[in-house]
Structure 1
Amino acid sequence: MSHPLFDVTGRTALVTGSSRGIGLALARGLVQAGCAVMLNGRDPERLAAAAGELAEAGPGPVHTVPFDVTDAGSVTAGVARAEELAGPIDILVNNAGAQLRAPLQDFSDGDWHRLLDTNLTSAFLVGREVARRMLPRGHGKIVNVCSLQSEVVRPGIAPYAATKGALKMLTKGMCADWGPHGIQVNGLGPGYIATELTAPLRADERFDAWVRGRTPAGRWGRTEDLVGALLFLVSPASDFVGGQVLYVDGGMTSVL
Structure 2
Amino acid sequence: MTAGTGQPVVAPPAGAVADRVVVVTGASRGVGRDLARVFADHGARVGLLARSRDALDDLTGTLTADGADVFAAACDVGEPDSLAGAVDAVAGHFGRIDSVVVNAGISPVARRAHHLPIEAWHDVLAVNLTGGFVTARAAYPHLARSGHGRLVFTTSVMAATPRRGLSAYAASKAGLEGLTRALAADWAGDGILVNAVAPGFFDTGLGAAFHTSQRLREQVVGRTPVARFGRADELAAAFLFLAGDACGYLTGQVLAVDGGYGLG
Shorter chain as denominator, the TM-score bin is over 0.9
1:76 has 2:91 as partner: no
- Residues 6, 231 of structure 1: 8 Å contact kept: no
Find the counterpart in structure 1 of residue 63 from structure 2: 54
5 Å-filtered alignment, 1:237-248, equals: 237-248=246-257
CA distance in 1: counterparts of 2:178 and 2:157, whole angstroms: 14
Q: CA deviation at 1:198?
A: 3.6
1:230 has 2:239 as partner: yes
- Residues 16, 93 of structure 1: 8 Å contact kept: yes
Find the counterpart in structure 1 of residue 104 from structure 2: 96
CA distance in 1: counterparts of 2:121 and 2:12, whole angstroms: 44
Find the counterpart in structure 2 of residue 65 from structure 1: 73
1:135 has 2:114 as partner: no
- Residues 96, 146 of structure 2: 8 Å contact kept: no
Find the counterpart in structure 2 of residue 19 from structure 1: 28
Q: Which runs of 5+ in 1 are unaligned?
A: none
- Residues 193, 223 of structure 1: 8 Å contact kept: yes
Among 34, 43, 57, which residue is 2:52 paired with? 43
CA distance in 1: counterparts of 2:170 and 2:74, whole angstroms: 27
Find the counterpart in structure 2 of residue 109 from structure 1: 118
Q: Residues 144-186 of structure 1: CA distance to partner in whole angstroms, max 9, x if unpaired?
A: 0011012111110011000000000000011000011110000
Q: Partner amino acid for 2:37?
A: R
Range moving further from structure 2, 189-198 or 73-82: 189-198
- Residues 15, 43 of structure 2: 8 Å contact kept: no
Q: CA deviation at 1:105?
A: 0.5
CA distance in 2: counterparts of 1:54 and 1:41, whole angstroms: 16
CA distance in 1: counterparts of 2:253 and 2:163, whole angstroms: 23
Q: Partner amino acid for 1:79?
A: V
CA RMSD between the two structures: 1.9
Per the normalisation by structure 2, the TM-score is: 0.90
1:159 has 2:168 as partner: yes
Q: CA deviation at 1:196?
A: 5.4
- Residues 187, 193 of structure 2: 8 Å contact kept: yes
- Residues 102, 156 of structure 1: 8 Å contact kept: yes
CA distance in 2: counterparts of 1:245 and 1:53, whole angstroms: 32
CA distance in 2: counterparts of 1:162 and 1:16, whole angstroms: 20
- Residues 21, 44 of structure 2: 8 Å contact kept: yes
**Sequence identity (%):** 35
Alignment CA distance shift 1:181-1:127 (3 Å): same
1:200 has 2:201 as partner: no
Find the counterpart in structure 2 of residue 30 from structure 1: 39
CA distance in 2: counterparts of 1:115 and 1:22, whole angstroms: 18
CA distance in 2: counterparts of 1:207 and 1:159, whole angstroms: 20
Q: CA deviation at 1:220?
A: 1.3
CA distance in 2: counterparts of 1:199 and 1:26, whole angstroms: 16
Per the normalisation by structure 1, the TM-score is: 0.93
Q: Which runs of 5+ in 2 are unaligned?
A: 1-10
